[in-house]
Amino acid sequence: MTILLDEVIELLRTTPSVLDAMLRRAPERFVLGSYGPNTFSPFDVVGHLITGERTDWIVRLRLILERGTSEPFPKYDRYAQFESSAGRTLDDLLDEFARLRAANLAVLLAANISIDDLTRRGLHPALGEVTLENLLATWVAHDLNHIAQIARAMAWQYETEVGPWRKYLGILNLPRTEMEADGVRRKSAADAD
């Protein structure tokens, strides 16, 4: 199945408002809490999404369209938010994410991507050749993955309070995804500063 660009754009456009609705007035423990050791809090996730808007999706889109597989994508720093979000407020991060996403969607629209463009290839440093379609579909799935991660972290704040209903709440019983050792080290270093 080939992705539909209008569908991609609409899904990507909704993420900032979804995050805003979930987080802007949420109590601090829901924003800063996680779902276990070495997992992202909602605050961490928003910072991570900002990093993607700055250094990942549009940078890679341009490389695919302009250079194909002749130049690999730059390595993406999945844990840059631990340094770049330090000392900032959640409201500031939500506002920045919304601005960056709107700007990136304008770039995406201006690129006038055709069906044929979706098969154009780029070179991922770890995965090898990927298509523009892969990149755009991953951008959407990445957003949805992190919305689910935020919901899991927020639900976890009532992990004991739900009592026996926990067995019916898959969000509290899913396996925890541990951050890689580098991410744990960087978070610890950022927290120590």
Q: What share of the chain is helix, strand, coil (3-state, %, to 5)?
A: 65, 5, 30
CA–centroid distance for 57 within its chain: 10
User: The tokens of 159 are what?
Assistant: 């992990």
Q: Which of 7-11, 20-24, 153-157, 185-189 has the lowest mean pLDDT?
A: 185-189
**CATH number of the CATH domain containing 131:** 1.20.120.450
Alpha-helical runs (H) found in the chain: 5-23, 28-32, 42-55, 57-67, 81-84, 90-110, 132-156, 181-192
Q: Which amino acid is at 27?
A: P
3-class DSSP state of 180: coil
- Specify whether the backbone of 38 is left (phi greater than 0), alpha (psi in -120 to 50) or beta: left
- Over 90: is that where the pLDDT of 190 sits? no
pLDDT score at 193: 67
Q: What angle do CA 110, 11, 48 make, to 5 degrees?
A: 90
DSSP string, 21-76: HHHTTS-HHHHH--SSTT---HHHHHHHHHHHHHHTHHHHHHHHHHHTTSSBPPPP
Burial 159-170 (b: 16+ CB within 10 A, else e): eeeeeeeeeeee
Measured distance between the N- and C-terminal CA atoms of the chain, rounded to whole angstroms? 48
Q: What percent of the chain has pLDDT over 90?
A: 79
- Is pLDDT of 30 > 70? yes
Q: What is the mean pLDDT of residues 177-186?
A: 59
Q: How confident is the model at residue 188 (pLDDT cuts 50, 70, 90)?
A: confident
User: What pLDDT, in 10s, does the model give residues 50-62?
Assistant: 999 999 999 999 9
- 91-143 per-position pLDDT tens digit: 999 999 999 999 999 999 999 999 999 999 999 999 999 999 999 999 999 99
How much is the pLDDT for 180? 46
Structural domain boundaries enclosing 50: 5-192
Higher pLDDT pick, 2 / 111: 111
Q: What is the mean pLDDT of the chain?
A: 92
Task: Give 54-94 pLDDT, tens digit per residue.
Answer: 999 999 999 999 999 999 999 998 899 989 999 999 999 99
Structural domain total, the chain: 1
